[in-house]
Each structure stands twice: as C-alpha cells, then as structure tokens.
Amino acid sequence: MKIKPGIVCSFVILIITLLLCALPPNGVCGDPPWRVEFDETCANTSSAMTLSLPELQALITRCEKLEKAIEQLDESTRKVFLKRILMCKNLYQFVLDSKKSTPEKTAQ
C-alpha cells in the first residue's frame, strides 16, 4: 500500500494545528513578570470600593514597585504602561482617601 504525499502533508498540518491549539494563549506563559504583576494589580480597579484599607494600601505599594520596573522598559511600552499604572494607582489612592475621610456610619 502506497501512501500519497498529499495525505502525509495534510496529516502533518493537522497535527501541527492541533498542537498549536492546545498551547495556552499568548500572554499566559510568555509574559514578563512585571506584566503578570501589572495585570493582577490593575484587575482590582472595578472592585476598588469593596476593598479594605489595608488591601488598598497594598495595591498602591504594588503600583509604586511596578512604576520602577516599567521605567526600565523601552520608550513605547514605558509610555503606555506608566500611564496605565498611574491611573490604577490614582484610583486606589482616591478610594483610600475617600474611605479614610468618610466616617463610618454607626448602627442605630
């Protein structure tokens, strides 16, 4: 029985395609550590009002550390991510300040 070259080629392409589909999407394993930290830190912006004061302070500290790491990147990436990390930090700082200045309501 002779195998046709076209069938072998199709089979190889099918195997390669299946292997590529099984790989995690770009960004899961290939991201640098600062980017993973960035994604985790800024992921809490939508729930910032529900965070406690210590959680907010910890996120602000993480943002400050990330600023230093991002400042070492190439110019284009640095501009984009510095702006984004500053926006996250400013939001957390605003929520922290507003929670500190708002007196807790006492139960009546």
Q: Is residue 22 part of a domain?
A: no
Whether the Cβ atoms of residue 82 and residue 71 lie closer than 8 Å to each other: yes
Q: Is residue 50 part of a domain?
A: yes
Q: How many domains does the structure of the chain reveal?
A: 1
First to last CA, the chain: 89
Q: Is residue 14 part of a domain?
A: no
Q: Is residue 16 part of a domain?
A: no
Q: Is residue 11 part of a domain?
A: no
What's the confidence (pLDDT) of residue 65?
Answer: 96
Q: Residue 95's CB: how many other CB atoms inside 10 A?
A: 19
Q: Is residue 88 part of a domain?
A: yes
pLDDT confidence bin for 96, thresholds 50/70/90: very high
pLDDT confidence bin for 108, thresholds 50/70/90: very low
The helix or strand, by DSSP H or E, that contains position 105, with its residue range, turns out to be none
Q: Is residue 92 part of a domain?
A: yes
The whole-chain average pLDDT of the chain stands at 83
What's the confidence (pLDDT) of residue 107?
Answer: 45
pLDDT confidence bin for 81, thresholds 50/70/90: very high
pLDDT confidence bin for 94, thresholds 50/70/90: very high
Helices (H) and strands (E) in the chain, counts: 4, 0
Q: Residue 92's domain spans which residues? A: 29-100
pLDDT confidence bin for 12, thresholds 50/70/90: low
pLDDT tens per residue, range 39-67: 999 999 999 999 999 999 999 999 999 99
